[in-house]
């Protein structure tokens, strides 16, 4: 069975989120709502879904998400006893066939630790801001995140179904404000190998001023987390990638350094320069910039 984990904090779209779960054509799932000490009480809405959802609600005494969102994820996962889970934002939605299509895919291809829905981004009003983004049937996670580094694809935590035991065994890496933590979850849970696509289900991911990733105030944390994440990939997990693919990660360091964002220290830059591939890439990058100047 699968548990939909909602790390609750904002009330604004919460009813829509629960309604999308109540609308599922397959009811074989649990819902866990972990209230991260929100000032907005969701109980009235939750009570409206009594008898419609197999839902467990816990209000925690302290706020973890404001300091380290991954700790809130881990805290909520402590209440998950099913084989599979998906962490859904308190403003995100699932298409009504999502659970049904997960089970169909699991029956046909049971050997994966990570499954992935197609996604569609929506705005404050629930209107789509992208077409449905679909993926290949099976894709190596390293290949996908190389494409993501070059901004060729999008992804979000709410599109992934994880094997519960696998995640509890490997743990969750903590990056600033949990940006890129979900990416590392996918890489490590899949053993840097294939992820299986759920071809007919869709996760609708809301990006707005109210959403965590859509809030411009978090941009600085996003940039900082990106540097740490790609540093980990280059220095801890480079052997998992094709050598030539590592070049897709280098521009993050160069842009940040020249913007003086202070996330790329001189020590880190020196470590990168000791890699011959980065050394050559750095000067090729500078030459391109010089040639573009009038």
| Residue 242 sits in the same domain as residue 125 | no
User: What is the C-alpha to C-alpha distance for residues 195 and 224, in angstroms, rounded to an integer?
Assistant: 27
| Residue 192 sits in the same domain as residue 236 | no
| Residue 146 sits in the same domain as residue 253 | no
Q: How many domains does the chain have?
A: 2
User: What is the C-alpha to C-alpha distance for residues 66 and 50, in angstroms, rounded to an integer?
Assistant: 29
List per-residue pLDDT tens for the chain, 294 residues long: 999 999 999 999 999 999 999 999 999 999 999 999 999 999 999 999 999 999 999 999 999 999 999 999 999 999 999 999 999 999 999 999 999 999 999 999 999 999 999 999 999 988 889 899 888 899 999 999 999 998 888 899 999 999 999 999 999 999 999 999 999 999 999 999 999 999 899 999 998 766 555 566 778 889 999 999 999 999 999 999 998 899 899 888 888 887 777 788 888 888 888 887 887 888 887 777 666 655
Inside any domain, residue 284: yes
Consecutive H or E run containing 219:
helix 219-235
Q: H helices then E strands: how many in the chain?
A: 11, 9
DSSP state of 275: S
- Which are the contacts of 267, defined by CB distance < 8 A and separation ≥ 6? none
The residue among 171, 187, 206 that closes a domain is: 206
C-beta separation of 122 from 129 below 8 A: yes
The per-residue pLDDT for 261 is 72
The per-residue pLDDT for 55 is 98
Inside any domain, residue 20: yes
Inside any domain, residue 211: no
Inside any domain, residue 144: yes
- The rounded Cα 257 to chain-centroid distance in angstroms is 26
Inside any domain, residue 191: yes
The per-residue pLDDT for 257 is 81
User: What is the C-alpha to C-alpha distance for residues 57 and 46, in angstroms, rounded to an integer?
Assistant: 8
The residue to which tokens 């390293």 are assigned = 142
Q: Beta strand 55-59 with 29-35: parallel, antiparallel or unpaired?
A: parallel
> Which of 80, 4, 17, 6 has the alpha carbon at shortest distance from 45?
17
Describe the crossing of helices 250-258 and 219-235 by its angle, rounded to 10 degrees: 130
The DSSP-derived string for 190-212 is: TTTSEEEEEEEEEEEEE-STTST
The residue among 168, 188, 206 that closes a domain is: 206
C-beta separation of 233 from 241 below 8 A: yes
Q: Which domain holds residue 45?
A: 2-206
Question: Hey, which residues does 52 pair with through a beta bridge?
Answer: none
Cβ neighbour number for residue 291 with a 10 Å cutoff: 7
């Amino acid at each position: 069975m699968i548990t939909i984990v909602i790390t609750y904090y904002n009330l604004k779209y919460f009813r829509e989120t629960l309604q999308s779960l109540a609308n599922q054509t397959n009811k074989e799932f649990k819902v866990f709502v972990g209230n991260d000490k929100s000032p907005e009480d969701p109980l009235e809405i939750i009570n409206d879904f009594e008898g419609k959802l197999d839902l467990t609600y816990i209000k925690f005494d302290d706020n973890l998400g404001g300091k380290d969102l991954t700790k809130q994820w881990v805290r909520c996962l402590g209440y998950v006893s099913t084989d599979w889970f998906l962490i859904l934002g308190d403003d995100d939605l699932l298409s009504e066939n999502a659970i049904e299509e997960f089970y169909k895919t699991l029956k046909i291809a049971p050997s994966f630790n990570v499954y992935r829905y197609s996604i569609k981004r929506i705005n404050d009003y629930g209107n789509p801001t992208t077409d449905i983004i679909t993926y290949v049937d099976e894709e190596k996670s390293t290949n996908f995140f190389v494409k993501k580094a070059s901004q060729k694809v999008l992804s979000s935590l709410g599109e992934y179904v994880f094997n519960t035991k696998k995640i509890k065994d490997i743990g969750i890496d903590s990056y600033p404000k949990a940006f890129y933590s979900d990416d590392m979850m996918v890489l490590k849970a899949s053993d840097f190998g294939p992820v299986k696509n759920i071809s007919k289900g869709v996760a609708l991911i809301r990006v707005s001023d109210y959403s965590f990733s859509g809030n411009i105030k978090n941009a600085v944390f996003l940039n900082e987390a990106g540097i740490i994440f790609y540093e980990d990939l280059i220095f801890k997990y480079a052997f998992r990638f094709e050598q030539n693919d590592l070049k897709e990660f280098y521009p993050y360091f160069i842009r940040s350094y020249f913007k003086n964002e202070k996330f790329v220290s001189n020590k880190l830059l020196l470590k990168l320069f000791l890699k011959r591939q980065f050394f050559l890439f750095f000067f090729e990058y500078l030459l391109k910039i010089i040639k573009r100047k009038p």
